[in-house]
Structure 1
Amino acid sequence: MKHALPFLTALAVSAPGIALAHPHIFAEARLEVIAADDGTVQELRNVWRFDEVFSSSVLLDFDTNTDLKLDETELAALGEVMHASLADFDYFTTISVDGTSEKIQKPDVIHVSYEDSQVMVFFAVKPEKATPLKGKLAFGVYDPSMYTAIDFPTDGDLVVQGKAADACQHQVVRPDPDEIIAQNSATLTEAFFDDPSGTDMSKLFATRLELTC
């Protein structure tokens, strides 16, 4: 597995028929921000459903007994690989407070299922340090390498739960790509798109949930 790239990209590179330079992987996501009773961010719960093309490549790679399905052992192996490979990318999950990024802890485990020819991933992450619901907080999910498109189909797929967040105003922000490109045209060069490590610029394109407390 290529540690310079996210796990998802590495799998796509190994799959036949997918371009090496810019794999196209698509996932529909749900993000739940859970507020603790003490007024801090307790955890962020992620659900990702991957497209059938990518899911089929995962099936080929992890179906060790070649029965054309993923059993519990194979799903656990996939979850372990994802747990290790996504660590350097903070599991595509971001938290910022007043514009400053906050680090997250590794999830205890990544759960994976394979239903209707699609891979589904479930896991929760916690902030590395206590993060009070104070100021302007933003939560999002994106791939810094821009190889994986993570989409929230509706605004209802980004939610905050917990009484401590009732006093906060919240909104889902979906940046306009044309505006982002126009505002940053000088830095969006070919070298930017060819950088496998990704850049912070890709965060500008990502859908996010904002809380103002």
Structure 2
Amino acid sequence: MNKTLLPLLASLVFAPVVAAAHPHVFADARLEIVANDDAQITELHNIWRFDEVFSSSVLMDFDKNANLKLDPPELEEIGKTVLTSLEEFGYYTTLTDNGKPVKVAKPDRINVDYKDGQLLMFFAIKPAQPMNLKGKLTFGIYDPTLYASIDFPSDKDVVLMGAFGACKSAIVRPDPDEVIAENKSSLTDAFFNDPTGTDMSKLFATRAEVTC
């Protein structure tokens, strides 16, 4: 791996997890959940806007011609790096279909832009298996390592698009104290069994619940 990529990988936890007790990278997210006329989820449109500190570090690492901006080839290089490196983490996307986890397919590309001192990433991702609008579906964006905090600034940043018909939706923002109290035993066991990377952080993540 080219050494110039390491700062970006470490910052977004594309590299192995190392005792990340709290977030070091912050991003505001927008998620558009798209359904077709056959009552199936077809795509998830992601837009992530990163904090200025992290964005400036990416600028320093990828500004090869030192012109203090990210030119199209440099933005493309960032996108290619993220496309490969986030695959292991399912692109920070968590889906469930009536309680069962649903994997996501690798997107065709991750588009990157740099505006007003902030790095933006936007891409479309698809469920790896059919998701029908039946029962209870959940959609969330979270980093299982807790190094990056990617959250929705408001409930309006999660949007249903397409043929959702009579489906009802709600945004769930778990209370950390309640999550800990309700899962104290399992959280303790998970930490001691694998303190470097459990999947329990999803309990704390904001999610959209769609019931059809």
Report the residue type matching 2:115 in the other structure: E
1:36 aligns with 2:44: no
1:116 aligns with 2:116: yes
RMSD: 2.2
Report the residue type matching 2:11 in the other structure: L
The share of aligned pairs that are identical, in percent, is 57
Residue 168 of structure 1 aligns with which residue? Answer: 167
| Structure 2 gaps, min length 5 | 2-6
Contact 1:12 1:54 in 2 (8 A): no
* CA deviation vs aligned residue, 1:132-177 (integer Å, no higher than 9, x gap): 1111000010000010011211000011111x21210111010111
Deviation at 1:21, TM superposition (A): 4.3
Residue 24 of structure 1 aligns with which residue? Answer: 24
Residue 75 of structure 1 aligns with which residue? Answer: 75
- Give the whole-Å Cα distance in 2 for the aligned partners of 1:143 and 1:109: 20
- Give the whole-Å Cα distance in 1 for the aligned partners of 2:170 and 2:181: 24
Contact 2:8 2:58 in 1 (8 A): no
Deviation at 1:36, TM superposition (A): 0.9
- Give the whole-Å Cα distance in 1 for the aligned partners of 2:121 and 2:70: 13
Report the residue type matching 2:180 in the other structure: I
Change (3 A) 1:9 1:178: farther
**Matched position secondary structure for 1:86:** helix
Contact 1:50 1:118 in 2 (8 A): yes
**TM-score, normalised on structure 1?**
0.87
Count how many residue pairs are aligned between Structure 1 and Structure 2: 201
Residue 181 of structure 1 aligns with which residue? Answer: 180
- Give the whole-Å Cα distance in 2 for the aligned partners of 1:10 and 1:190: 27
- Give the whole-Å Cα distance in 1 for the aligned partners of 2:64 and 2:84: 20
**TM-score, normalised on structure 2?**
0.88
Moved over 4 A (4+): none
Contact 2:12 2:147 in 1 (8 A): no
- Give the whole-Å Cα distance in 2 for the aligned partners of 1:185 and 1:93: 25
Residue 49 of structure 1 aligns with which residue? Answer: 49
Contact 1:49 1:118 in 2 (8 A): yes
- Give the whole-Å Cα distance in 1 for the aligned partners of 2:128 and 2:188: 34
Contact 1:9 1:148 in 2 (8 A): no
* CA deviation vs aligned residue, 1:90-139 (integer Å, no higher than 9, x gap): 10011101111011111110000000110000001001122111110000
Change (3 A) 1:204 1:191: closer
Residue 61 of structure 2 aligns with which residue? Answer: 61
- Give the whole-Å Cα distance in 2 for the aligned partners of 1:202 and 1:90: 14
Report the residue type matching 1:70 in the other structure: L
